Amino acid sequence: MNDLTAYDIVVIGGGCVGIASAYKLNLRYPELKIAVLEKENKLAAHQTGRNSGVIHSGLYYKPGSYKAKNCVEGRRELVAFCIEHHVAHDVCGKIIVATDEKELPHMNRVFNNGLQNGVEGIEKITAQQIKDIEPYCTGIEGIWVPCTGIVDYVGLTNKLAELISQKFQGSKVLTGQKVTAFEKEDGHTVVVTEKQKFKTKYVISCTGLFSDRMAKADGVNPHMQIVGFRGDYYDLTEKGMHKVRNLIYPVPNPEFPFLGVHFTRMIQHGVECGPNAVFTFKREGYGKTDFNMKDTLQALSYAGTWKLFFKHWRFGLDEYRRAFSKRLFLDRLQRLIPSLEMDDITPGRAGVRAMALDNDGNMIDDFKIEYSGNAIHVLNAPSPAATASLAIGTAVTEMAEKYFKLS
């Protein structure tokens, strides 16, 4: 171990939420020395770099929720940041499409949520208007969401890290620094990594798929557990790519905690279809057969996991069947684009979503950020956390200001 390196604040986690939190803190307090510690050898290696790359509008979320407020505010700030700092993005709009009469009541609830949340420009559209926007898509009614877009979240994270290192003397973003322990000393914390130790007054943990474990390592009871759900994507082939112009979403099923399989034009190139949602036996397991004994035992020994399974076993079984069947995956995609054929899609990448469950198997739907001792733990930051990352960074800064008495 090297000698102790001293910082005012250590932020653990180099995804967009951790980096945005460090950036916002340093913007408000440029004199602070802040270190961001990321365990991988690059930033945004997990949820940030493996999501759909969508700038969410904010219309799905319960009015008045932390999610709704931060998504709408964060989206506007994100787009402004991308324009100022030349991060690749495109506010191209999306459509939400109802393909069955029984979806219309929930589609109307989603639309009204959007109005209450202040999502600008949304409007209901007819079957013909769906065709005008996406000629190969078939639906009976829909919602046009002009302020939705796509963005390079890895590029965003790296740009924020670059600004931290350039603008704030003494602040650093360090990769390859896996945190293994905390040592408490005279009002300070020593953050121990596999390479060295960092002495700090305050800790902010933004560790995504490992937020519950990091909290417990710091002596905090998170009152929930992270359970990983893998999402597999298909890509449209060159033959099928012309069938999607921008973004096409189904009306989400209100009984299930996922938005459903959708089509997303990617900012770099191509169109993705997905994701599904299946329980994963490894928190960072991106392959269908990936397995980790600790992750599996922890998930399957937690009462909340089984209660979730029992509530949604039909949904879970359907998702698993689709995970191993291209034909079943295509069947789901054809609900939105009937003309899709087997050779229009090819297997793509995968991501893992950190689902926070309480002991009763309920998904903790809103953002969950808690303060304890000299630490702030971002325990739950589900979608739209990437879209809202700059707004979450402001919220973390305000919490730090209050609890750490920075001003």
In angstroms, rounded to a whole number, what is the distance separating the alpha carbons of residues 309 and 187? Answer: 43
Residue 69 domain-assigned (yes or no): no
What average pLDDT score do residues 102-108 get? 96
Phi-psi region of 331 (alpha: psi -120 to 50; beta: other; left: phi over 0): alpha
* DSSP tag of 176: S
Q: 241 and 338 share a domain?
A: yes
Residue 310 domain-assigned (yes or no): yes
**Residue of 202, 204, 222 whose CA lies nearest to 212:** 222
Q: 297 and 185 share a domain?
A: no
Q: 340 and 390 share a domain?
A: no
- The range of the structural domain enclosing residue 190 comes to 5-48+154-223+365-403
- Tokens for 175? 């990769």
Domain count, the chain: 2
DSSP strand pairing (141-145 vs 123-126): antiparallel
Residue 149 domain-assigned (yes or no): no
Q: What DSSP letter does each residue of 190-240 carry, written as one string? A: EEEESS-EEEEEEEEE--GGGHHHHHHHTT---SSEEEEEEEEEEEE-TTT
Q: 292 and 207 share a domain?
A: no
- The predicted structure's pLDDT at residue 185: 86
- The predicted structure's pLDDT at residue 257: 63
Q: 257 and 317 share a domain?
A: yes
Domain holding 15: CATH number? Answer: 3.50.50.60
What average pLDDT score do residues 377-406 get? 95
In angstroms, rounded to a whole number, what is the distance separating the alpha carbons of residues 348 and 359? Answer: 34
Residues contacting residue 387 through CB under 8 Å, at least 6 positions apart:
54, 55, 56, 71, 74, 75, 78
Residue 26 domain-assigned (yes or no): yes
Asked if residue 346 has pLDDT above 90, the reply is yes
* DSSP tag of 357: E
What average pLDDT score do residues 386-401 get? 97
Q: 354 and 373 share a domain?
A: no
Residue 101 domain-assigned (yes or no): no
Q: Grade residue 150 by pLDDT with cuts at 50, 70 and 90.
A: very high
What average pLDDT score do residues 230-258 get? 92
Q: 278 and 374 share a domain?
A: no
Q: Grade residue 315 by pLDDT with cuts at 50, 70 and 90.
A: confident
Domain holding 340: CATH number? Answer: 3.30.9
Asked if residue 52 has pLDDT above 80, the reply is yes
User: What's the longest Cα–Cα distance across the chain?
Assistant: 68
Q: 277 and 351 share a domain?
A: yes
- The predicted structure's pLDDT at residue 3: 60
DSSP strand pairing (278-279 vs 262-265): unpaired
What average pLDDT score do residues 357-367 get? 92
Residue 93 domain-assigned (yes or no): no
Q: 172 and 236 share a domain?
A: no
How many CA atoms does the CB half-sphere of 21 hold within 13 Å? 33
- The predicted structure's pLDDT at residue 365: 86
Beta bridge partners of 9: 34, 202
The lowest-confidence range among 8-22, 28-42, 253-267, 337-351 is: 253-267
Q: 395 and 371 share a domain?
A: yes
Residue 143 domain-assigned (yes or no): no
Phi, psi at 80, each rounded to 5°: -65, -40
Q: Grade residue 312 by pLDDT with cuts at 50, 70 and 90.
A: confident
Residue 264 domain-assigned (yes or no): yes
Q: 349 and 302 share a domain?
A: yes
**Residue of 232, 224, 308 whose CA lies nearest to 276:** 232
Q: 162 and 28 share a domain?
A: yes
Q: What DSSP letter does each residue of 41-85 carry, written as one string? A: SSSS-STTTTS--EE--S-SSPTTSHHHHHHHHHHHHHHHHHHHH
